[in-house]
């Protein structure tokens, strides 16, 4: 789920808004949109071979062009299909693709462009109502399964394009839902796991059931990082008991609070893209990432109700994430060089 949805002020209003996003037909009675062809660059929101929204950098920040490491990032975007016309997005749905590019590619996927080449597929994402569907027909479940099939197919093309490079996996919300499954089915227990720098399945209910260990230190590799940000008293909290929470200001799983001073800078490109140091604090508590206050006039969107900061899971901690993925890349490459030297 992503910035750009209708803002609401309460769980009741949120439920009402989402109710009107329910497709009129069942999944079984709907013809799925045409499947993507991932050899077609138009079926990717971001590729290293083209200029796209994931190439943006914060105002006044050097892009450090030419200094990227030989790392490939596979980024799976969150829900940006907010329509009721069908259960899954047609890939040529211009409004949705623009929303994906203007919000997600800029506010989330761009965080990885300093160290790495970013690959982000468009896919037949499930409409937002799929997460609220409780029908016996399991329409939402089927829509999400179709979306996952596309993500898995895109991942195979990503691997074909990057047969030997170290990789980073990242996503948000629906994207992390698919990434969680991808980690379990395509990564853990395979030789590919040896190429994993780290995974960032942020903004969804994620535990260790996918088989990948949690990252418990700033430069640990071969592990996963996730959190769900909210106020302590938010009526809608997206993490479930037992979910992982890694504090993006300390990169630790403990419940030690991290102060505003540890925040290297939030960035919201919808508000101009300036770096705002100290924009929030953070503390992992009861599987949630608790933010006590926002020291900025920006970040005012509340599509999931007051106190829920889901759409800012990346933006609040933008510069910390940017620094962290570089730290993990450096550690991974150093370990690989050491192993090569010993052999």
Instruction: Answer yes or no: is 237 within a domain.
Output: yes
Task: Check residue 343 and give its pLDDT.
Answer: 65
E-state strands within the chain: 44-46, 72-76, 117-121, 167-172, 196-202, 223-224, 229-230, 266-267, 275-276, 283-285, 288-290
- Give the integer Cα–Cα distance in Å for 184 and 304: 29
The answer, yes or no, to whether residue 5 has pLDDT greater than 60, is no
Instruction: Answer yes or no: is 6 within a domain.
Output: no
Burial degree of 12 (CB within 10 A; 0-12, 13-18, 19+) = exposed
Terminal Cα distance for the chain, rounded: 46
- Give the integer Cα–Cα distance in Å for 98 and 218: 34
Instruction: Answer yes or no: is 118 within a domain.
Output: yes
SS3 for 236-253, per residue? CCCCCCCCCCCECCCCEC
pLDDT 10s digits, 215-261: 999 999 999 999 999 999 999 889 999 999 999 999 999 999 999 99
Count of domains forming the chain: 1
The answer, yes or no, to whether residue 116 has pLDDT greater than 90, is yes
Instruction: Answer yes or no: is 1 within a domain.
Output: no
Instruction: Answer yes or no: is 280 within a domain.
Output: yes
The 283-285 sheet, strands edge to edge? 229-230, 288-290, 283-285
Task: Check residue 137 and give its pLDDT.
Answer: 83
The answer, yes or no, to whether residue 7 has pLDDT greater than 60, is no
Instruction: Answer yes or no: is 32 within a domain.
Output: yes
- Give the integer Cα–Cα distance in Å for 261 and 72: 31
- Give the integer Cα–Cα distance in Å for 299 and 16: 23
pLDDT 10s digits, 90-102: 999 999 999 999 9
Instruction: Answer yes or no: is 234 within a domain.
Output: yes
| 291 neighbors 281 (Cβ within 8 angstroms) | yes
The answer, yes or no, to whether residue 2 has pLDDT greater than 80, is no
Domain that holds residue 271: 11-342
Instruction: Answer yes or no: is 198 within a domain.
Output: yes
**Model pTM above 0.85:** yes
SS3 assignment, position 324: helix
């Amino acid at each position: 789920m992503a910035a750009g949805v209708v803002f609401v002020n309460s769980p009741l209003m949120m439920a009402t808004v989402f109710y009107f996003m329910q497709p009129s037909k069942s999944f079984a009675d709907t013809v799925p949109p045409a499947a993507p062809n991932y050899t077609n660059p138009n079926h990717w929101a971001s590729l290293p071979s083209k200029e796209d929204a994931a190439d943006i950098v914060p105002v006044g920040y050097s892009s450090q062009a030419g200094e990227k490491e030989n790392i490939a990032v596979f980024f799976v975007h969150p829900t940006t299909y907010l329509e009721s016309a069908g259960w899954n997005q047609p890939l040529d749905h211009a409004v949705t693709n623009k929303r994906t590019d203007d919000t997600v590619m800029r506010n989330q996927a761009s965080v990885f462009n300093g160290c790495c080449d970013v690959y982000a597929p468009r896919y037949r994402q499930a409409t937002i109502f799929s997460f609220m569907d409780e029908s016996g027909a399991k329409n939402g479940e089927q829509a999400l399964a179709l979306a996952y099939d596309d993500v898995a197919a895109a991942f195979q093309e990503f691997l074909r394009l990057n047969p030997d490079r170290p990789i980073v996996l990242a996503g948000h919300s629906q994207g992390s839902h698919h990434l969680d499954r991808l980690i379990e089915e395509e990564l853990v227990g395979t030789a590919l796991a040896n190429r994993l720098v780290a995974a960032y399945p942020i903004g969804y209910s994620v535990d260790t059931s996918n088989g990948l260990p949690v990252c418990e230190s700033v430069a640990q590799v071969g592990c996963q990082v996730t959190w769900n940000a909210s106020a302590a008293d938010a009526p809608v909290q997206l993490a479930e008991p037992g979910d992982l929470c890694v504090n993006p200001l300390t990169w630790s799983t403990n419940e030690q609070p991290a102060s505003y001073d540890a925040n290297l800078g939030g960035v919201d490109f919808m508000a101009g893209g300036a770096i705002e140091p100290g924009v929030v604090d953070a503390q992992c508590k009861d599987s949630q990432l608790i933010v006590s206050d926002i020291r900025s006039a920006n970040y005012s969107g509340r599509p999931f109700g007051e106190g829920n900061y889901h759409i800012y899971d990346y933006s609040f901690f933008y510069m910390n994430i940017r620094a962290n993925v570089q730290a993990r890349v450096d550690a991974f490459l150093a370990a690989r060089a050491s192993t090569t030297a010993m052999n």
